[in-house]
Amino acid sequence: MVSVLPLGGGHAGLAGITSFLTSGTQPVDMPERRDPPPTEEGWYALHEFRTIDWDAWRDAPERAREGALSEGIEYLEGALAVDDAGEGASAVYSVLGAEADLLLLHLRPTTAHLDALQRQFERTALAAFTDRASSFVSVTEASGYSERAREYFEGDLDETSGLATYIQTRLHPTIPDATHVSFYPMSKRRDPEQNWYDLPFEERAEHMASHGDIGRDYGGRVVQMITGAIALDDWEWGVTLWGDDLTDMKELLYEMRFDPSTSRYAEFGPFYVGRRFPPADLPALLAGEPVPTDGEVAGDLDRAVHPADTGDGAAAGAGAGAPAASAPSGDPAAEEAASGADGDAAEAADDADTASGAGDAAPDSEVPDDIETVTDDDMPGRLATVGLHEGEDYPAGTYGLAVYSTADASTLAEEVEGLRGNFEHYDSHVLTSVRAAGGQSAVVSVWETERAAGIAEGFLTDLSAVSRSVSGPLGEGDEGGGDASGGEADGADRGDADRGEDGGNTGDAHVAGAAGDIREELADMDVYAGQPHGETIYALVLYSTADRDRLREAVEELSDGFDRYDTHEGTTLYEEPDSDRAAVVSLWATQDAANTASEYLADLPGLVGWADEGEGFNTMGMFYTVQPDHREAFVETFEQVEGMLAEMDGHRETALLVNADDENDMFIASRWDSKEDAMAFFRSDAFTDTVDWGREVLADRPRHVFLA
């Protein structure tokens, strides 16, 4: 029986119903809605897995098989050449195991392109011998979990910046010519006690950063592509990994299994593993022969999926002892901290070493037409102007490149890191480094052979805002020379120095002037300026106006992470009295380590600049460790010197900064109009008297760093 409640009269009846329906109910606290990170989408992706009907293939007449092979090769070659669209990429793989026989991978600007590719294959005679085993439809994406990535999504970055360029490579990737591919779909767990989407934004971001740290160790060995599939397929993401050694992928994912972002919050679908082969080898594949038939993966030498770094994906691969820039995260939750490795660039360089035929001309490096290319007979002198010297940094008889860019040094370093991580896997590679050069950034790369350097040039000139490429042999030369006429160099001897991200100083002696003349002058005055008189160390100095407790916590966290690396000499917070500005100083034993560390330091809160940014000539007096009994006298003397400096021509500012954890450790930062103004002070009697007095009160010998 159904009871009917009479409405009675007018609104009174409705009020009664409302009272009846709501009587006894209590207010319910709704859970807080979590903030999703912003995303941007790029090309659509189709992973199509097909099985071969082997019985039908064996029973088919030879003529039918030949026709199927001919049409299949034509289709695949057209797809790989992207004949159907103005942009995109495709590849074909032989799948290992019983799940499928072939993987057709397509990246295209629209779903219409993918749909047409599917239909076109079905029209080939080869399709009659295959069945679709599975497929995955998704779209390339980048998301804004990290602070720097959010700058991109909020429109605060120039579209030509390195970070913006890097994100575009995520959205519009190319497919590397790696031997193996591994694909799997995945989703984030939504169990009551382990719900990824219920976690606060900050906790998700921490998981991503931690997870990405693991992937960075695989830079140069594994390349990844993350594609989003929410509302497009049964799983939320697709993860595609590439590498020449399949065990590298196994080791990567094995290590990630123990990370909480995987062990607690990840669900995985089936895994597919394949080997790439060129379409022309389709007959050999179906005949049961090894492919590729030449033992190598055919295809154009092109950029890998994620050629940059860092940044929010930082770049992959780092030198030994350096905190590695990120490689594949293997998990979309960590994709902001994960970049791929430029495997193609490394393979190209290796090809240069193994190519047969003595005296072969270097292959076309595909340098863009709008980039000026120059051969320099005094390449050793050019490299000396940016602190690289024959015998110290590279052997004689090698071949050098200097690629000049107007891009910001930090964003350029992110892009370079992925290339360098891969270059280092090949014996012909000597070094690749980002340097400061006369208001520009210079990417210097040294190789054992001209052929290898020629191929690497094609990849280096594809970096952001490159306008000129200079190359030449590195034989016997004037180490103190330089190309004064070229205008590329900033006139700084970088002997043991490098420029880090965002213009950060990665050397302990950014000595302005050719051939270390400042060092020599100071040495004559018995003033220690670092190399070549003592140990090698590389310094990064940046300034922040963030809340001091927040900054201290961030610096301590970074320093603890850096301590995992033998090359880390210390990262310290210095406070400037009577100012809201603080300085962070990070010291490293190698250039590559300092370069990579600068990426992490650039994410510190409240960053307002690096020590060597801006106009003028800067000096850093470091390692002023004062004997405790003389600290008060040292501070008073500094105030007197500061007053004298204020009266000197060309002096802009000088500040004394104090270690936040040790009041007896200080450094002095000064800015001058020019090198000549600074040297006038160093030659003065007042400075000589101060140096003499300092020997009595300092526990260690200070070192002076020069930033042009």
Q: Which of 75, 152, 166, 184 is the catalytic position?
A: 184
Q: How confident is the model at residue 587 (pLDDT cuts 50, 70, 90)?
A: confident
Rounded to whole angstroms, what are the CA distances from 223 to 305, 330, 397, 444? 7, 9, 33, 24
Q: Measured between alpha carbons, how far is 556 from 571 in angstroms, rounded to an integer?
A: 8
Report the DSSP pairing between strands 440-447 and 313-315: unpaired
Q: Quote the mean pLDDT of the chain.
A: 74
- Between 8 and 433, the more confident residue is 433
Three-state SS letters, 624-655 = EEECHHHHHHHHHHHHHHHHHHHCCCCEEEEE
671: alpha, beta or left, given left = phi > 0 and alpha = psi -120 to 50?
A: beta
CB contact at 8 A, 708 and 617: yes
What is the torsional sign of CA 113, 114, 119, 122? positive
Q: Measured between alpha carbons, how far is 107 from 139 in angstroms, rounded to an integer?
A: 9
CB contact at 8 A, 668 and 583: no
Task: Give the pLDDT confidence score for residue 273 in this predicted structure.
Answer: 97
Around Cβ 256, how many Cβ atoms within 10 Å?
A: 21
Judging by beta carbons within 10 Å of its beta carbon (0-12, 13-18, 19+), is residue 485 exposed, middle or buried?
exposed
Task: Give the pLDDT confidence score for residue 523 in this predicted structure.
Answer: 57
Residue with tokens 């239909």: 119
In this prediction, residues 587-599 reach a mean pLDDT of 75
- 323-337, 472-486, 623-637: which has the highest mean pLDDT? 623-637
Q: Is the pLDDT of residue 48 over 90?
A: yes
Smallest CA-to-CA distance from 656 within 569, 570, 583 is with 583
Residue with tokens 């201290």: 552
The order of strands in the sheet holding 440-447 is: 372-375, 466-474, 398-405, 440-447, 429-437
User: Under CATH, what is the fold of the domain 516-707?
Assistant: Alpha-Beta Plaits (3.30.70)
Rounded to whole angstroms, what are the CA distances from 5 to 2, 15, 16, 24, 214? 10, 12, 10, 18, 65
pLDDT tens digits for 322-372? Answer: 222 233 443 333 333 333 333 333 222 233 232 223 233 233 346 777 888
Superfamily grouping for domain 39-187+220-246+268-306: Apc35880; domain 1 (3.30.70.1030)
Q: Is the pLDDT of residue 447 over 60?
A: yes
Which one-letter DSSP state was computed for residue 513? B
Tokens (6 digits) for 379: 């390449």
pLDDT tens digits for 396-423? Answer: 889 999 998 888 766 777 788 777 766 7
Report the DSSP pairing between strands 466-474 and 607-610: unpaired
Options 3.30.70, 3.90.550, 3.30.300, 1.20.1560; CATH of 362-490: 3.30.70
Judging by beta carbons within 10 Å of its beta carbon (0-12, 13-18, 19+), is residue 347 exposed, middle or buried?
buried
Q: How confident is the model at residue 4 (pLDDT cuts 50, 70, 90)?
A: very low
Kindly report which listed range (13-22, 602-611, 654-663) carries the lowest average pLDDT score: 13-22
In this prediction, residues 238-253 reach a mean pLDDT of 92
Judging by beta carbons within 10 Å of its beta carbon (0-12, 13-18, 19+), is residue 33 exposed, middle or buried?
exposed
pLDDT tens digits for 637-671? Answer: 888 887 888 888 888 888 888 999 888 888 888 88
Domain residue spans in the chain?
39-187+220-246+268-306, 362-490, 516-707
Task: Give the pLDDT confidence score for residue 319 in this predicted structure.
Answer: 29
Q: Measured between alpha carbons, how far is 51 from 591 in angstroms, rounded to an integer?
A: 51
Task: Phi first, then psi: give them for residue 27, nearest 5 degrees.
Answer: -60, 140
Q: Measured between alpha carbons, how far is 64 from 54 in angstroms, rounded to an integer?
A: 14
- 125-139, 390-404, 434-448, 646-660: which has the highest mean pLDDT? 125-139
Task: Give the pLDDT confidence score for residue 125 in this predicted structure.
Answer: 97
Q: Measured between alpha carbons, how far is 660 from 666 in angstroms, rounded to an integer?
A: 9
pLDDT tens digits for 178-192? Answer: 999 999 999 988 888
Q: How confident is the model at residue 684 (pLDDT cuts 50, 70, 90)?
A: confident
Q: Measured between alpha carbons, how far is 338 from 314 in angstroms, rounded to an integer?
A: 6
Task: Give the pLDDT confidence score for residue 160 in this predicted structure.
Answer: 61
Task: Give the pLDDT confidence score for residue 105 in this predicted structure.
Answer: 98
Annotated catalytic, 166? Answer: no
Q: Measured between alpha carbons, how far is 443 from 433 in angstroms, rounded to an integer?
A: 6
Q: Is the pLDDT of residue 702 over 80?
A: no
- Between 219 and 81, the more confident residue is 81
Q: How confident is the model at residue 147 (pLDDT cuts 50, 70, 90)?
A: low
Task: Give the pLDDT confidence score for residue 264 in this predicted structure.
Answer: 86
With a pLDDT cut of 90, the percent of the chain lying above it is: 26
Rg (CA), the chain: 30
Report the DSSP pairing between strands 130-143 and 180-188: unpaired
Kindly report which listed range (140-154, 299-313, 669-683) carries the lowest average pLDDT score: 299-313
- 228-242, 307-321, 463-477: which has the highest mean pLDDT? 228-242
Kindly report which listed range (55-59, 293-297, 347-351, 411-415) carries the lowest average pLDDT score: 347-351
Task: Give the pLDDT confidence score for residue 385 in this predicted structure.
Answer: 75
Give the residues across from 670 on adjacent strands. 619, 654
In this prediction, residues 412-437 reach a mean pLDDT of 76
Q: Residue type for 622, please?
A: M
Are both 39-187+220-246+268-306 and 516-707 of the same fold?
Answer: yes
What is the torsional sign of CA 420, 424, 425, 430? positive
In this prediction, residues 377-404 reach a mean pLDDT of 85
In this prediction, residues 12-30 reach a mean pLDDT of 53
Task: Give the pLDDT confidence score for residue 442 in this predicted structure.
Answer: 85
